[in-house]
């Protein structure tokens, strides 16, 4: 089969890859998106669920926010729960005009896929079930992405290649050995995620610190709740029956008088180890990285999706500037600009994780220090403002 040619080759049809393709198409820059899984699989994955103010603005400005605006649930605060009491972090008071919107990542992905498939000019340029993706001629002005589709080996000749293939993707490994520095940190626990067909028991997200471990009450809609339990890192999911999950959620969340947790059918449960990761730089020659392919932040701060979209907003501007003006300044500044934001969010997410989780290595003294810090956060306006500013998202781009 003859080689395909395009301007930007994008690996991965998650939020980063799909949004990048959409933003580029809006400025007349052509791309191909190569995704290894099926459309059905990509649209079914339960991932993040909190969009920052900037992300909502970005999606709406890009013309893919109509369903988000209709179905997204705006929250003006979150709750910290510990020591038998609840403490609301009031965004309207602390960061006026900024809120978060609860809208599942898979809904964002569905909206973006629909937008791509509705773009006649991009017909056939979003390819699912692609395998064995590899990059050659990386150092040339025309990198070539090889891949297999429907049993046929194909080639995609590009001007630029962007790895949006997530933490377990291939593209990060295309950066020449010795050209990057990877920063990794594994936390001594994982999150057991639960999706349940039950209406939320709280009006806003509840972050609970408990001696048995962290618990989070979130939601996806007024009919579907989302929960997370801190569990040991090497936990075995088969040890968590539905009954055990509900019992542990009640233990860790029903700690304030008069509040009770509603339960219902569990639709999905999964385990995700808690980690931090950053690779620097996020570019080599004509290859860029964006989103989880370049960085992972602990989910406690609810920032992974927002960071990924912030990366591609910057990269799309840089690529458009190159095509329209022949300028390389934004491309050359992409990695540093992203990494400033990534490390800021990394710090906040790690801080929030340390604040709310129990560490197996902690002794009684350290546990009391943690309670003192929680008490400081909920009694200091300055501390609450810092939390609120980071949670709703500083101006990320
Ligand atoms: N070839 C093609 N596609 C690949 C490959 C590969 N070798 N490896 C991975 N992929 C695809 C995955 O199937 C997935 O659809 O790349 C996509 C990467 O998407 P995400 O992992 O969602 O990463 P990103 O788009 O950066 O979005 C980050 O997603 O995982 C969450 O918590 C994360 O909320 C954050 C967001
Ligand atoms: C979610 O709803 O998936 C969610 C919410 C807040 C977090 C992490 C995950 O901090």
Residues 179-210 pLDDT 10s: 999 999 999 999 999 999 999 999 999 999 99
Question: Which atom of ligand 2 sits closest to the CA of residue 105?
Answer: 3
CA–centroid distance, 302 to ligand 2, in Å, is 5
Q: Which ligand is nearest to the CA of 275?
A: 1
What is the pLDDT at residue 1? 85
180 CA to middle of ligand 2, Å?
Answer: 30
Q: Which residues of 160-180 are buried (b: 16+ CB within 10 A; e: fewer)?
A: bbbbbbbeebbbbebbeeeeb
Report the C-alpha gap between 300 and 191 in whole angstroms: 10
Q: What's the 264 CA to ligand 1 centre distance in angstroms?
A: 30
The crossing angle, in degrees rounded to 10, of helices 329-356 and 304-325 is 180
Who lines ligand 1 at CB under 6 A? Answer: 11-17, 34-37, 42, 47-48, 105, 130, 133, 164-166, 169-170, 291-292, 304-305, 308
**How is the chain split among helix, strand and coil, in percent rounded to 5?**
40, 25, 35
Pocket probe for ligand 2: among 49, 388, 392, the residue whose CB has the most ligand atoms within 8 Å is: 49
Burial of 181 (0-12, 13-18, 19+ CB in 10 A): exposed
* Banded pLDDT at 395 (limits 50, 70, 90): low
CB within 8 A of 212, min separation 6: which ones?
248, 251, 252, 358
Task: For residues 275-298, give the mean pLDDT.
Answer: 98
Candidate of 226, 305, 350 to mutate for ligand 2, largest count of ligand atoms within 8 Å of Cβ = 226
Q: Are 312 and 291 in contact (CB under 8 A)?
A: yes
Share of the chain above pLDDT 90, in %: 95
**154 within 8 A of 148, measured Cβ to Cβ:** yes
For position 397, what pLDDT does the model report? 42
CB–CB of 274/231 below 8 Å? Answer: no
Q: Whose CA is nearest to atom 6 of ligand 2?
A: 302
Distances, alpha carbon 341 to alpha carbons 80, 335, 336, 345, 347, in Å:
25, 10, 9, 6, 10
Mean pLDDT, rounded, for 119-131: 93
Distance 194 CA to ligand 2 centre (A): 11
Average pLDDT over residues 160-173: 98
Please name the helix (run of DSSP H) or strand (run of DSSP E) that holds residue 271, with its range, or none. Answer: strand 266-280
Quote the mean pLDDT of the chain. Answer: 96
How many Å lie between the centroid of ligand 2 and the Cα of residue 50?
6
Answer whether residue 10 shows pLDDT above 50: yes
Res 138: pLDDT: 76
Instruction: Compute, in angstroms, the gap from residue 166 CA to the centroid of ligand 1.
Output: 4
pLDDT digits (tens, 9 = 90+) for 299-341: 999 999 999 999 999 999 999 999 999 999 999 999 999 999 9
**Can you say how many angstroms the Cα of residue 230 is from the centroid of all Cα atoms in its chain?**
19
The confidence score (pLDDT) of residue 34 equals 98
Locate the ligand 1 atom nearest the alpha carbon of residue 165 and give its number: 16
Can you tell me the distance from the alpha carbon of 383 to that of 348, in angstroms, rounded to the nearest whole number? 12
Mutate to test the pocket of ligand 2, among 50, 300, 354 (most ligand atoms within 8 A of CB): 50
Pocket test for ligand 1, best of 11, 12, 338 (most atoms within 8 A of CB): 12
| Residue pLDDT, tens place only, 31-87 | 999 999 999 999 999 999 999 999 999 999 999 999 999 999 999 999 999 999 999
Cα-to-centroid distance, 97 and ligand 1 (Å)? 32
Give the C-alpha separation, 50 to 90, whole Å: 16
Lining residues, ligand 2, CB within 6 Å? 48-50, 205, 216, 218, 226, 299-300, 302
Q: Which atom of ligand 2 is nearest to the CA of 218?
A: 2
Question: Which atom of ligand 2 sits closest to the CA of residue 50?
Answer: 5
Kindly report whether the peptide bond that precedes residue 301 is cis, defined as omega within 30 degrees of 0.
no
Mean pLDDT, residues 126-144? 93
Termini Cα distance of the chain: 41
- The pLDDT tens digits of the residues spanning 222-275 come to 999 999 999 999 999 999 999 999 999 999 999 999 999 999 999 999 999 999
* 105 CB-side CA count, 13 A: 22
Ligand nearest the Cα of residue 40 is: 1
- Tell which residue, 241, 244, 254, has the closest CA to residue 215: 254
């Amino acid at each position: 089969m003859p080689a395909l040619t395009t301007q930007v080759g994008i690996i991965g049809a998650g939020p980063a890859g799909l949004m990048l393709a959409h933003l580029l198409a809006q400025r007349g820059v052509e791309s191909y998106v190569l995704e290894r899984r099926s459309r059905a699989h990509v649209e079914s994955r339960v991932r993040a669920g909190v969009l920052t103010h900037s992300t909502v603005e970005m999606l709406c400005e890009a013309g893919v926010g109509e369903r988000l605006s209709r179905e997204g649930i705006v929250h003006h605060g979150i709750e910290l729960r510990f020591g038998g009491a609840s403490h609301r972090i009031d965004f309207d008071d602390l960061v006026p005009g900024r809120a978060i919107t609860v809208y599942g990542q898979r809904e964002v992905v569905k909206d973006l896929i629909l937008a791509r498939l509705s773009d006649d000019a991009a017909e056939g340029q979003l390819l699912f079930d692609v395998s064995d993706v590899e990059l050659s001629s990386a150092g040339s002005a025309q990198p070539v992405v090889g891949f297999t589709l429907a049993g046929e080996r194909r080639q995609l000749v590009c001007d630029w290649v962007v790895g949006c293939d997530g933490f377990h993707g291939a593209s990060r490994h295309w950066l020449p050995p010795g050209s990057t520095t990877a920063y990794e940190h594994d936390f001594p626990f994982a999150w057991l995620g639960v999706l349940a067909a039950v209406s939320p028991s709280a009006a806003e997200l509840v972050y609970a610190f408990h001696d048995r471990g962290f618990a989070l009450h979130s939601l996806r809609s007024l009919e579907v709740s989302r929960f997370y339990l801190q569990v040991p890192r090497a936990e075995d999911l088969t040890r968590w029956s539905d009954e055990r999950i509900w019992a542990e959620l009640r233990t860790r969340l029903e700690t304030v008088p008069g509040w009770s947790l509603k339960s219902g059918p569990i639709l999905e449960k999964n385990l995700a180890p808690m980690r931090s990761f950053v690779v620097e730089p996020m570019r080599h020659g004509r290859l860029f990285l964006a989103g989880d392919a370049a960085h992972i932040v602990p989910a406690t701060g609810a920032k992974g999706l927002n960071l990924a979209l912030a990366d591609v907003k910057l990269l799309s501007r840089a690529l458009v500037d190159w095509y329209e003006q022949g300028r390389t300044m934004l491309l050359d500044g992409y990695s540093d600009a992203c990494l400033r934001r990534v490390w800021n969010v990394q710090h906040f997410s790690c801080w929030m994780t340390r604040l709310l989780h129990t560490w197996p290595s902690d002794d009684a003294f350290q546990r009391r220090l943690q309670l003192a810090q929680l008490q400081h956060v909920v009694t200091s306006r300055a501390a609450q403002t810092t939390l609120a500013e980071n949670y709703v998202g500083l101006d990320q781009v």
